[in-house]
Amino acid sequence: MLRLGDRAETRRRRKHFHGSETMKALKKALLVAGACLLSASAAEAGTVRVTIAEYSKGTGPYFEDAAKAFEAANPGTKIQIEVVPWDNLQQKLTTDIAAGANADLSIIGTRWLLDYVSQGVVAPLDSYVTPDFKARFIPTFLTPSIMNGHVYGLPIAASARAMYYNNDIFKKAGYDSAPATWADFKTAAEKIKATGGGVFPFGMQGKEIETDVYFYYAMWSYGGDIVKDGKSGLDSQAAIEAAKLYKSFIDGGLTEPGVTSYNREDVQNLFKQGKVATVITAPFLSGQIKKEAPNLNYAVAPIPAGPTGDQGTYGVTDSIVLFANSKVKDEAWKFLDFLFTTDQRTKFDKVEGFLPVNAEEAKNPIFADDRDLKVFASLLPKARFAPVIPGWEDIAQTTTNALQKIYLGQGQIEPTLKEAAAKIDETLSKK
Amino acid sequence: MTRAFTPYILILPSFLLAAAIVLWPVEEIVSLATHDVNRFGMLRDFVGLANFRSLLADPDFWTSLWRTLIWTAGVVLGTLIVSMPIALILNEDFYGRGLARILIMLPWAVSLAMTAVVWRWALNGESGMLNSALRDLGLMDHNIQWLAQASTAFPMQILIGVLVSIPFTVTIFLGGLSSVPDDLYDAAAIEGAGRWDQFRLITFPLLRPFINIAFVLNTIYVFNSFPIIWATTQGGPANSTDILVTYLYKLGFRVGRLGDAAAVSLIMFAILLAFTILYVRLAMREEAAA
């Protein structure tokens, strides 16, 4: 692990390698121009550059407004917002950091944070975080951003997962509420299939980001873990049972056909069109349904439980971090402080449909009395967060590949999972 | 003495420019490929060829390499075969030729990524245009999940690749055809040559240099082409439609192994360089012989 003190050493080596300052300047200029024209203007004193992931069309306007409000209250400090599509965020940050042209603040997936901390790229916020400030947060959401006892980020966005189900379809099959266990769900799915009408009972995701997580829902219900004692849990009995369960849904025609061609948005769209009876996803689907399919009669329920009553939901936070090379740390912190006031948080979470991270904000009737959000909030005590391990994306990709092979019938369940687990163990053992 | 130096001084500015935009990045990539690099591009220890070794030990690299060759050959040959008759037809004088030419060229104006996204929608299993069109025509009675497995996804991707390469190739061919003098055909007709003989003995030989150019340029573009495969399947399911560029992207920006990714791009560079040199050599030898 590279600690903060080693950064000078890193810098020395880089400098040594690139030979001269001119070369370095040239490299910087070219890389920045290539990476993003916006960031080409060098940070002047009092300007805080913020990289923002675009969650929806409302993200950019919200942050522009917040920046304006902040500038009005803090003359002399300028906030420069750079909005990046979520899919390109990792790539942009990598290029920017490599060129030393990164912003002062950035949103990152909390599951990447360990990589950033171990490379000394982000600065600890401990000197700024007062007990009062800490008390603003619901502890569940702040915890994932704390590493080795230091706060390295603040949870800018929080979400959990639950099962959306189509009331009309379930009613037609004789159900008034969502089934509580996977066994019940499978019986219900058979009945829904029997009622015909071209509706697929279980909307299953089999492609792109979070295909692995879609599988973990079932794996957690069977009592499994992503990583246990430093080893992958993908070859555990729980994982095998979960894979068998999903495969039986696919083979029984209880999912949409060709699951490996459906990513998260595709399955959500099928749900909005009434073509699948269920989908497991995040709170933001409620907002989309309100706008795009207002007549859809749906409800939200916990993800079905396994045979032993185990039940899991995925808790996710994105963190906003302060880069170690920022020259305007104090100003940047002031802006963070402003973003995490109850007022600002309420505005942001309303725009995006995220869960409140601020305890005061959660009491607001907009969130406390929302039919769907209540279900999500009730699941939080059982929520599992991405484990703090290096190489999360590497592991996600290995898992997704193994699952796709199983879903397509190109690999036997046990050997495919065992092979993937061995590969993940190798990733986990590196550094 | 001055005479000997003058040419070098004259080409120096363009050489420096070329060096700045070609050689310098290559030097940077070589340094990435031969070092232990963290995910933010910071160089650590020099590791020599270790990155290449780990790459060569990865079965996904070999399958991607093999698939890249199929992809390139499929798209380039498909494009040349389809473009030739289109160019011949557009070279004929007929009513509405101008409009027909514009229609063939139009797809060129749409960005490749956009075209690929549209195709991704068209190939959607439940609500895609292709399935509903085939069903309406009565050609099939159940939906095909085009992108769910490589056996249907990859041929479709090659097809899309051919479609988007046609405008460029047809343009080159049309340029070539306009340089063939008409009196050659008149003379051939008088000698009793039919249309097929005219094509075989006059058009095709005279078009050879243009076909060569279209072949080399298309190969270079297609070998490196990222958007079609990325937008439709991201190289999935289970890496079964990965070509080297998509494999490289995942390696570099998803997994964060920048050193390995740099090694892949050097290998790609070497393959293309070798191909181009070989091809130019062959073409030149042929021309000298002819």
DSSP state letters, A87-133:
HHHHHHHHHHHHHT---SEEEEEGGGHHHHHHTT-B---TTT--HHH
A85 in Cβ contact with A209 (< 8 Å): no
A338: tokens are: 């402003």
The alpha-carbon gap from B143 to the nearest alpha carbon of chain A, in Å, equals 9
Sketch out chain B's domains with CATH numbers.
Answer: 43-109+155-289 (1.10.3720.10)
Chain B residues whose beta carbon lies within 8 Å of the beta carbon of residue A275:
126
Q: How confident is the model at residue A367 (pLDDT cuts 50, 70, 90)?
A: confident
Q: Mean pLDDT, to the nearest integer, of B24-44?
A: 88
Task: List, as one string, the DSSP characters of chain B.
Answer: -HHHHHHHHHHHHHHHHHIIIIIHHHHHHHHHHTEEE-TT--EEEE-TTHHHHHHHT-HHHHHHHHHHHHHHHHHHHHHHHHHHHHHHHHHS--TTHHHHHHHHHGGGGS-HHHHHHHHHHHT-TTT-HHHHHHHHTTS-SS---TTTSHHHHHHHHHHHHHHHHHHHHHHHHHHHHHTS-HHHHHHHHHTT--HHHHIIIIIHHHHHHHHHHHHHHHHHHHHT--HHHHHHTTT-STTTT--HHHHHHIIIIIS--HHHHHHHHHHHHHHHHHHHHHHHHHHHHHHHH-
> A97 and chain B: CB distance < 8 Å anywhere?
yes
> Do A17 and B236 count as a contact with CB atoms less than 8 A apart?
no
Chain A residues whose beta carbon lies within 8 Å of the beta carbon of residue B127:
269, 273
Residue with tokens 């070998």: B223
Of A258, A273, A401, the CB nearest to B148: A258
Chain A residues whose beta carbon lies within 8 Å of the beta carbon of residue B148:
206, 257-261, 408
Chain B residues whose beta carbon lies within 8 Å of the beta carbon of residue A261:
124-125, 145-148, 153, 233, 237
CA B268 to chain centre: 13
Chain B residues whose beta carbon lies within 8 Å of the beta carbon of residue A402:
238
Q: How confident is the model at residue A45 (pLDDT cuts 50, 70, 90)?
A: low
* Rounded-to-integer distance, Cα A254 and Cα A233, Å: 27
Chain A residues whose beta carbon lies within 8 Å of the beta carbon of residue B236:
207-208, 260, 400-401, 404
User: pLDDT for B178-213, tens place per residue?
Assistant: 988 888 888 888 888 888 888 888 899 999 889 988
Of B145, B239, B253, the CB nearest to A261: B145
Query: Domain boundaries in chain A?
Result: 4-159+316-385, 162-315+388-429
| Residues in A 152-211 with any Cβ partner in B closer than 8 A | 206-208
* Rounded-to-integer distance, Cα A239 and Cα A234, Å: 6
B44 in Cβ contact with A6 (< 8 Å): no
Q: Can you give the pLDDT at residue A431?
A: 56
Q: At residue A266, does pLDDT exceed 60?
A: yes
A326 in Cβ contact with A101 (< 8 Å): no
Residue with tokens 């590791």: B47
Please, how many CA atoms are within 13 Å of residue A95, restricted to the half-sphere of its CB?
17
Chain A residues whose beta carbon lies within 8 Å of the beta carbon of residue B126:
256, 270, 275
Q: Mean pLDDT, to the nearest integer, of A350-365?
A: 89
Residue A256's H or E segment, with its range, is none
Q: Can you give the pLDDT at residue A329?
A: 94
* Rounded-to-integer distance, Cα A222 and Cα A396, Å: 20
The alpha-carbon gap from B151 to the nearest alpha carbon of chain A, in Å, equals 11
Give the nearest chain A residue to B121 (CA atoms): A266
Q: At residue A18, does pLDDT exceed 50?
A: no
Q: At residue A25, does pLDDT exceed 60?
A: no
> Do A258 and B145 count as a contact with CB atoms less than 8 A apart?
yes
User: pLDDT for B117-155, tens place per residue?
Assistant: 999 999 988 888 999 999 889 888 888 899 999 999 999
Chain B residues whose beta carbon lies within 8 Å of the beta carbon of residue A259:
148
Q: Domain A162-315+388-429 carries which CATH code?
A: 3.40.190.10
Mutate to test the interface with B, among A12, A210, A260 (most CBs of B within 10 A): A260
Q: Mean pLDDT, to the nearest integer, of A63-89?
A: 93
Q: Mean pLDDT, to the nearest integer, of A245-270?
A: 94
Give the nearest chain A residue to B145 (CA atoms): A258
User: Interior CA angle at B268 toward B283 and B118, to 5°?
Assistant: 95
CATH class of A4-159+316-385: alpha beta
* Rounded-to-integer distance, Cα B239 and Cα A199, Å: 30
> Do A27 and B42 count as a contact with CB atoms less than 8 A apart?
no
ipTM, 2 dp: 0.85
> A400 and chain B: CB distance < 8 Å anywhere?
yes
> Do B42 and A14 count as a contact with CB atoms less than 8 A apart?
yes
Chain A residues whose beta carbon lies within 8 Å of the beta carbon of residue B256:
94, 115, 391, 393-394
Of B31, B153, B254, the CB nearest to A393: B254
Phi then psi for residue A255, to 5 deg, are: -115, 175
> B44 and chain A: CB distance < 8 Å anywhere?
yes
Q: Can you give the pLDDT at residue A8?
A: 41
User: Which of A73-82, A365-374, B70-79 is predicted with the least confidence, judged by mean pLDDT?
Assistant: A365-374
> Do A261 and B125 count as a contact with CB atoms less than 8 A apart?
yes
> A394 and chain B: CB distance < 8 Å anywhere?
yes
Q: Tell me the H-state helices in A19-85.
A: 21-35, 59-73
Chain B residues whose beta carbon lies within 8 Å of the beta carbon of residue A265:
none
Q: Is residue A82 classed exposed, middle or buried when 0-12, 13-18 and 19+ CB atoms within 10 A define those classes?
A: middle
> Do A94 and B40 count as a contact with CB atoms less than 8 A apart?
yes
Q: What is the mean pLDDT of chain B?
A: 90
Share of chain A above pLDDT 90, in %: 67
Q: At residue B168, does pLDDT exceed 90?
A: yes
One fold for both A4-159+316-385 and A162-315+388-429?
A: yes
* Rounded-to-integer distance, Cα B253 and Cα B41, Å: 11
The alpha-carbon gap from B128 to the nearest alpha carbon of chain A, in Å, equals 12
Q: Mean pLDDT, to the nearest integer, of B271-276?
A: 91
